[in-house]
Amino acid sequence: MQAISPSTPNNLKYLIGTSPSTNRVAPNRIIVKCVYGYDSANLCKGTVSSRADWQTSCAILASKVVSQEQSSTDKTGGGADHVAAINGHKTSITDLSLVPIGELANGGSDNNRQLQPKPLTISDLSPAPMHGSQLRVAYQGVPGAYSEAAAGKAYPNCEAIPCDQFEVAFQAVELWIADRAVLPVENSLGGSIHRNYDLLLRHRLHIVGEVQLPVHHCLLTLPGVRKEYLNRVISHPQALAQCEHTLTKLGLNVAREAVDDTAGAAEYVATNNLRDTAAIASARAAELYGMQVLADGIQDDPSNVTRFVMLAREPIIPRTDRPFKTSIVFAHDKGTSVLFKVLSAFAFRNISLTKIESRPHRNNPIRLVDDANVGTAKHFEYMFYVDFEASMAEVRAQNALAEVQEFTSFLRVLGSYPMDMTPWCPSSDSRGD
């Protein structure tokens, strides 16, 4: 897949034209379905592979504009023989193929009355703003998914880019198709999303923020369908589990089938005109796919919240003027016996842990210990993910990690980022989730 400029939306059309598995679902929306390695041979066609290349190209364009402005202000000594310096090379202004903007504004020829597109500048390729404006945010699912609502809460007014898999969202950011990714890592009822913890370790993206989203499930059907007509209910496995008791109270003792995501279930029912099937999804999904809300707020526990993390290519600068959280992952060659020492490093400095998660060590899942008397012992090896309430700008956090590094064979900081301190909002008030 081609690496594209992060600030030129038209390049997405070029991507759609070359990728065999990109499906358009709505105007101005794309779903990224797979990512292949980009072809460096196409760099000469206008695609660039790094930020440095973009800035160099912009510098050339900017210097052309400066040369043009100088030639227009110097009426006597300029003219066609005026010489401009571009990246240290002298070039005649006639070789720049610039259109005098002043002439176009004043009338000029009849064929060139319309202003030409403004050349790119360095500011056009600067890092995307931090508060949502013009950001392209990747999420897993289809429009109407809870992840789309989390992306909108994290970055208002962003351009949400749906992806069919979690790993595709990671790759979309790495290949500059998206500026950020918003992905779930844990739910208050279902626990951790282990897949994303594994992907955090596999990829080199940084956590730059978090957002907590109340989950508000609805039972959706085609218009005019009553619950007596239903033979099955489909949704994401966690959504089915979170609504199990409520479905029983509603008298829906029907088959329950799992699909990839909640909004995808609603889309499936609407697309195939299934009048005997209901979907568990959000109220926004009902609006998008023309379905009716047969039952509202069917989650068993009203305190159903999913925590999402925001991922970027570059980390943010830690601060101390607001509450921060830091996420790390570590392992040790000699197993879990070091865990107490690691936790003590935080306890002695009064640093609160908000989460600890263990995942199998993929490269070395089993450690064998031979004993001549009793035989060979087999121990599982784990990676440990820890979140703690402190900023990496604080001395106590720096000292704690320095001590942790002494006890571990592997330590990586996944990110130090602001905590989500928004007021608690009951799930019944959330319609866009």
Kind plus residue range of the DSSP H or E element containing 110: none
The angle, 0 to 180 degrees and rounded to 10, between the axes of the packed helices 166-174 and 194-202 is 30
166/143 Cα distance (integer angstroms):
15
Our CA dihedral for 57, 60, 63, 64, rounded to 10 degrees, sits at -110
> Per residue in 128-137, pLDDT tens?
445 445 789 9
How many distinct structural domains can be found in the chain? 3
- 321 and 382 both lie in a single domain: yes
Asked whether residue 245 is assigned to any structural domain, the reply reads yes
Q: Indicate whether 6 belongs to any domain.
A: no
Contact (Cβ atoms closer than 8 angstroms) between residue 158 and residue 131: no
Spatial distance between the Cα atoms of 92 and 420, rounded to a whole number of angstroms: 56
DSSP-derived 3-state class of residue 88: coil
Beta partners for residue 86, in sequence order: 89
* Residue 223 exposed, middle or buried by CB count within 10 Å (0-12, 13-18, 19+): exposed
Residue 176 lies in a domain: no
Q: Has 121 been annotated as catalytic? A: no
Summarize pLDDT for 46-87 with one digit per residue, the tens. Answer: 444 455 565 555 555 555 555 555 555 554 444 444 444 434
Write the pLDDT tens digit of every residue in 293-333: 999 999 988 888 999 999 999 999 999 999 999 999 998 87
- Classify residue 147 by its DSSP letter: H
3-class SS at 156?
coil
Per the domain annotation, does 133 fall within a domain?
no
Q: What CATH number is given to the structural domain containing 256?
A: 3.40.190.10
pLDDT band at 360 (very low <50, low <70, confident <90, very high): confident
pLDDT of residue 334: 67
- Tens digits of per-residue pLDDT, 145-184? 999 999 999 999 899 999 989 999 999 999 999 999 999 9
Pairwise CA distance, residues 163 & 166, whole Å: 7
Claim to verify: residue 294 and residue 322 sit in the same structural domain? no
State the catalytic residue, choosing from 306, 324, 346, 407: 306
- Rounded average pLDDT over 83-102: 44
- Looking at residue 381, its pLDDT comes to 77
The closest of 261, 267, 273, 264 to 289, measured between CA atoms, is 267
- Rounded CA gap, 125 and 121, in Å? 7
d(CA 253, CA 151) in angstroms, rounded, equals 35
CA gyration radius, the chain:
27
pTM (2 d.p.)? 0.66
Active site residue 221: no
Higher pLDDT, 56 or 229: 229
Contacts of 337 by beta carbon, 8 Å cutoff, 6+ apart: none
Asked which of 107, 124, 141 is the last residue of a domain, the reply is 124
Q: Indicate whether 266 and 323 sit together in one domain.
A: no
Instruction: Provide the residue range defining the domain that includes 264.
Output: 218-298
pLDDT score of 142 more than 50:
yes
Query: Which residues is 410 bridged to in the sheet?
Result: 331
166, 170, 308, 407: the catalytic one is: 308
